[in-house]
Structure 1
Amino acid sequence: MSSTMRDALPPLSCLRAFEAAARHMSFTQAGGELNLSQSAVSRQIKRLETDLGRPLFERHIEGLRLTPSGERYFRVVQRFLRDLSDETARLRRRGDSRQLTLASSPTIASIWLARQLPAFQRAHPHIEIRILTVEDPHRLDLGEFDLGIYYHVPFEVDPPGLTAHAIFADEEVAAVCSPIYLERHGKHITPEALLTDHTLMVVEDHYHDWLTWEIWFGELGLAWRPPEHTLRANSFQLLMNATLAGQGVTLGWMRLLEAEIRQGNLVPAMAHRLQSRGKLSLFTPRHRHLTEPMKAFQKWVLSGETPPQDH
């Protein structure tokens, strides 16, 4: 083998597979994080071990274990990938250390985040905000954003490479509608009538962080059957706009919709409320150096200093 080939770095795909497998101590979990099959991760690791001329893992009945060489190499590779990710993110932001890119779903971004940002920007006028809307947090590219704001259901919705911190300690979910809708259909709506005489907003192709009508009815101990009238869409933002326009009743997260309720744009359709399984959370990429804008926003949003804005 020529010296040029011996000096060549291993493929980045092999290094990423090794880092993920060593961090999880599982080829299967590494594959889930990288959207690869378990066998594909195994092939990448084997290719890397062949290139290095030594094993990186010891394979036992109880699972994987790093060899001494693997442990040293893991520390180097993890530091290298973290530094590469940080520098890539900085370059993609055109080197502007003042910029903060926030990722969120379209609904959270438009209904909640947009109301909070004026207060944050008044406190931190030197920070430039960029918002990236992505419906599914699992599709986030860790190099394209700094912090994320999504609903997080522990042990069910855990996007790889992210740590979740709850913004609100607790939150309730209730059936909500516009005052116009309530006036038009009567001010006293019962659970039974909700399923027969009203239009329910139904999100299709939802992710695991979504609470369905059937689950909501079941956990409240209410009798459930498929509703007779629905308006369906694969976008909660679209259905929320339809709800505000008086087209039906939707499930609403009360802290998320606090400003809309306080301003009278939305009202509870019934008194029933259910504790939310998920909490609005700040997602922070692991293995990233926090920039000053990231630290400032993290401290601000997790300190409870985010009252809904009326404008």
Structure 2
Amino acid sequence: MTMLPPRRFLPSISLLAAFEAAARTGSVTIAAKELNLTQSAVSRQIRALEEQVGVELFVRERQTIRLTLAGDGYAREIREALRRISSASLNLRANPHGGSLNLAILPTFGARWLAPRLPRFLDANKGITINLATRLSPFDFRLDSLDAAIHFGHPQWPGAELTFLMSERTVPACSPAFRQAHGIKEPADILGLPLLHLTSRPDAWETWFAGNGVAFGSVHGMLFDQFATAAQAAAAGLGVALLPTFLIQEELRRGELVTAVDHEMESAERYYLACPTERLDYAPLTAFRSWIVAEAAASHPVQLTE
């Protein structure tokens, strides 16, 4: 069990709230109004905090205050701590009888694959609430109030255990009019056309051309930070995008997108569920991990033979 630090290093919430408000606004007067206190009360609380931690947090100049160097760093950490306490309290109030799972998702994967399936998990696990937050790259679980994350890449995430979910196949996709206008018949025909790139996968087109035996020089084009916007741009006729087939099924079915050429390629990276090792026994996470592994196996049976 983790031991809490001595009481003298745990100032009260009221002292920390007064300090954070004054640090953020740069004014005792504004902080007092925000907290519905008098100026003298806020000043006393800040003084009491300084005495407790033994460090001067503000430089006082006539009627103004400014953070000391130490105070500035302390304010950043306290602000995040108060945010996490507030978030935990909000989660508890929203779901007093069950557990909450704070899950980081990749935006397009979350919207198109995970969200439609979540009702099944919630129906089977009454009392568990799932809170979703977008994260595009790995982060430090120790500095964030998240219990798990969907990760695409190689099985590397310091301090986390990764559970394999599925592999992925990508295909060059564009609008039907774009394909017809450019007479695309084979992979080499795509070279020189407007290419749409994902910032998170800067070498994707180079890998695809190399895998299809197409010699190339520099590969340029528009940049996008999400698959959804790249797919929309491709459907609008702006170019060809390399997109995961399982994320664009609806666009393909409706005819908004077509495969530029029928040359799929399996990505070297995979989808994983990343869990901090100290949270592996958390009941909502245990239930979710079992469920999402089963869902991934059902939706990608061929890729899950490894």
TM-score range, shorter chain: 0.5 to 0.7
Partner of 1:221: 213
Superposition deviation, residue 101 in structure 1: 1.7
Q: 8 Å contact 2:141–2:276 — kept in the other structure?
A: no
Answer yes or no: is the 8 Å Cα contact 2:172–2:261 preserved in 1: yes
Larger of the two Rg values belongs to structure:
2
Mapped pair 1:177 → 2:180: no
Corresponding letter in the other structure for 2:168: E
Provide closer, same or farther for how the CA distance between residues 267 and 163 of structure 1 changes in structure 2, counting only shifts above 3 A: farther
1:277 deviation in Å? 0.5
Please state if 1:285 is matched with 2:276.
yes
1:241 to 232, 236, 250: 232
Q: Distance in 2 between matches of 1:307 and 1:260?
A: 18
Q: State the SS of the aligned residue for 2:263.
A: strand
Q: Do 2:171 and 2:245's aligned partners in 1 also have CA atoms closer than 8 Å?
A: yes
Which residue number in structure 1 is paired with residue 130 of structure 2?
A: 129
Mark the runs of 5 or more structure 2 residues left unpaired by the alignment. Answer: 10-83, 301-306
Q: Is 2:174–2:258's contact at 8 Å kept on the other side of the alignment?
A: yes
What is the match of residue 165 of structure 2? Answer: 167
* d(CA) in 2 for partners of 1:288, 1:92: 20
Counterpart in the other structure of 1:253:
244
What's the TM-score once normalised by structure 1's chain length?
0.58
Q: Which residue of 2 aligns with 1:266?
A: 257
Q: 3-state DSSP class of the match of 1:304?
A: helix
SS at 1:201 equivalent: strand
Aligned to 2:210, the other structure's residue is in SS state helix
Indicate the residue corresponding to 2:46 in structure 1: none
In structure 2, do the counterparts of structure 1 residues 218 and 234 end up closer, same or farther at CA, with 3 Å as the change threshold?
same
Query: Residue 201 of structure 1 corresponds to which residue in structure 2?
Result: 196
Cα displacement (A) at 1:241: 2.8
What is the RMSD of the two structures over their aligned residues, measured on CA atoms?
3.5
Whole-Å Cα distance in 1 between the matches of residues 219 and 203 of structure 2? 16
Listed as ranges, the gaps of 5+ residues in structure 1 are: 1-6, 12-86
How much does 1:120 deviate?
A: 2.7
Q: Which residue of 1 aligns with 2:49?
A: none
Percent identity at matched positions? 28
**Counterparts of 1:118 and 1:126 in 2: how far apart (Å)?**
13
Equivalent pairs, count: 219
- Compute the TM-score of the two structures, normalised by the length of structure 2: 0.59
The residue number in structure 1 matching 2:35 is none
C-alpha separation between the residues in 2 aligned to 1:120 and 1:262? 27
8 Å contact kept, 1:116–1:307: no
On the 8 A contact 1:167/1:301 being kept in 2, the answer is yes
Which consecutive segments of 4 or more residues in structure 1 shift more than 6 A? none
Instruction: Check the 8 A contact 2:157/2:274 in 1, yes or no.
Output: no
